[in-house]
A and B are shown apart, each in its own frame.
Chain A
C-alpha cells in the first residue's frame, strides 16, 4: 500500500524568502506525484505534476526516487501563495490518488 507523508502541518515564511514544502512517499513501484493547492474558499486544484517537469506560479518540484521525496519549492514567496498544499501519489495502473495530510502555508508580509 502506498503512503504520503507531509511532516509539516503549518509553515510560515516571510514574503520574499524561499519556500520548501516537504513530501515523502512510500511505494515500491513507479509513482506519479502531484501537488494540489487549495486557496481560501476555493476548490482543490492541481498545482503541478512531476511528469510535466514545469514551473507553475514559480513553484517547482523534483521527484527524487532515491529519497522517495517530492518537495515543493519556490525561491521567493509571495503573499498570494498562502494556501493549503497537498501532496498526492498515483500508483502505476491505479486510478485513485493517495493524499498527504497537507501543509498550511502562510506568507508573512
Chain B
C-alpha cells in the first residue's frame, strides 16, 4: 500500500495521559497536514508542514498539542495531558508541491482516539 499510513489505528487512553500518533505520507509528497474530525463534523485543520517546516497552525491546536516532522518524511502528533474533549479521529494527509496532483490532499485512514 503506497498511500498515507497512520499508526495506531485506535488508541484508548485515560485522561491526563500523553499520546503520540505517527503519519507516514506518500513518499514523494513534501506537504503534510493534520486534521481532527469529531462525530457529525467534517475534518478540521490542525497544522501543515512543508518538508520539515511547520508553516501553519490552527487556533484549535492548544499548547498541549505538538507536531513534528523532523526529517521532512514522517510526522508525529503528540497530545499531552489528554482531556475527554480530545476524543476524535485524527487524520493525516499529504500532497505534492508540483504536478497535476498539486493541491490534492491524500488522506490516511486516521487514528481514532478515545479518552476515558
Interface residues of A (CB under 8 A from B): 4, 9, 32, 34, 36, 43-46, 49, 86, 88, 90, 94-102
Contact B55 A86 (CB under 8 A): no
Chain A residue nearest to B104 in the complex (CB): A46
When distances are taken between beta carbons in the complex, the residues of chain B under 8 Å from A4 are 42
Closest 10 CB pairs of A and B: A99-B42, A96-B45, A44-B107, A43-B109, A99-B43, A95-B48, A86-B42, A43-B107, A101-B42, A102-B42
Interface residues of B (CB under 8 A from A): 3-4, 31, 33, 35, 40-45, 48, 50, 55-56, 58, 91, 103-110
Give, as a whole number of angstroms, the nearest-CB distance from A92 to chain B. Answer: 11
Contact A95 B42 (CB under 8 A): no
Known contacts being A96-B33, A96-B56, is A44 close to B45, with CB within 8 Å?
Answer: no
**A101 CA / B48 CA spacing, docked (Å):** 21
Known contacts being A44-B91, A86-B42, is A97 close to B105, with CB within 8 Å?
Answer: yes
